Amino acid sequence: MRINILAGGPKENWPADLFKEPGDWVGADRGALFLMEEGIEPLFAVGDFDSVSDDERQRLIAYQKEREMTTYPAHKDYTDTALAVRYAMAAGADDIVLYGATGGRLDHELSNLTIPLLDSFLPQVGFSSLVGRFSIVDCRNTISYLDAEHNVVEKLPGHHYLGFMPLGIVDNFSILDAEYPLTIKENSGIMYSSNEFVGELVHVSIERGIVLVTQSTDRRS
């Protein structure tokens, strides 16, 4: 089951033909308003909705009246986007794709990129229940996550560059068959960017931990 989440990031960062993607939709804060404007009926909307005006909020409440809409206080333990991811997991999604998560405030973007590290997604240290089922997509980048069990990157059409960034505690991480192989023995929060595919797959080895992987293009596609 695929669930797409739309957060409130700028529309110019959306992929082309965003709303032709398969799956159901979830709105996170202002993302719910964007879905309403597109005439898309989400499974649910969630957030504190502090990024919408009072008029927009009332329109959204009226639009969501027969669908689930949960409003949280501004002071809470999780961001609106992280709450949407939790809802998607609770709904049984095995493929969660997040849009509208980049290109706005940098603190929001970094928070979105590190969602798999949140305590509620960590059944044990160094492993996340989101790895293998969660990705972030915009007009130039696709971001996914690797661990000891999910250790193969498949080349996406139109994406030329490959980057890897160990997150949190990562032990013995190796890029095996990309253009630039690499082995990192100790923890690292460094982005190893501008790597490339040699074939259609790149294999990595990870003893423990989570690695963020980016596939990118220089041009909007």
Q: Give SS3 for 22.
A: coil
Report the distance separating Cα 48 and Cα 86, nearest Å. Answer: 15
Question: How many Cβ atoms sit within 10 Å of the Cβ of residue 100?
Answer: 29
Tokens of 166: 């160990």
**Residues 127, 131, 132: CA angle, nearest 5 degrees:** 140
Give percent of the chain above pLDDT 70: 89
Q: Does the pLDDT value for residue 221 go beyond 50?
A: no
Distance CA(147)–CA(93), nearest Å, equals: 19
The rounded distance, in Å, linking the Cα atoms of 121 and 160 is 30
Q: How many CB atoms lie within 10 A of CB 197?
A: 19
Question: Helix or strand or coil: residue 104?
Answer: coil
Task: List the domains of the chain with CATH numbers.
Answer: 1-139 (3.40.50.10240), 140-221 (3.40.50.10240)
More confident residue, 159 or 122: 159
**DSSP secondary structure of 40-77:** ---SEEEE--TTS-HHHHHHHHHHTTTSEEEE--SS-S
Mean pLDDT is lowest, of 83-92, 97-106, 184-193, for 184-193
The least confident of 9-13, 39-43, 170-174, 178-182 is 39-43
Residue 218: predicted pLDDT: 82
- In the predicted structure, residue 93 carries a pLDDT above the cut 50: yes
**Span 79-95, mean pLDDT?**
91
Residues 111-136: tens digit of each pLDDT:
999 999 988 887 755 567 899 999 99
Q: What number is the average pLDDT over the span 76-85? A: 85
Distance, C-alpha 143 to centroid of its chain:
7
Q: Which two tokens stand for residue 37?
A: 């404007």
User: DSSP class of residue 124?
Assistant: B
**Averaged pLDDT for residues 14-28:** 93
Does the pLDDT at position 24 exceed 60? yes
Radius of gyration from C-alpha coordinates of the chain: 18
Cα–Cα distance, 144 to 212 (Å, whole number): 6
pLDDT exceeds cutoff 80 at 201 = yes
Q: Give the residue among 13, 18, 12, 43 at the shortest CA–CA distance from 28.
A: 43
* pLDDT, position 204: 96
Strands 192-196 and 161-175: what pairing? antiparallel
pLDDT at 68: 66
The more confidently predicted of residues 57 and 171 is 171
Tell me the helices (H) and strands (E) count for the chain, helix number first. Answer: 4, 12
Q: What is the mean pLDDT of residues 174-190?
A: 90
- What is the pTM assigned to this prediction? 0.90
The pLDDT > 90 percentage for the chain reads: 62
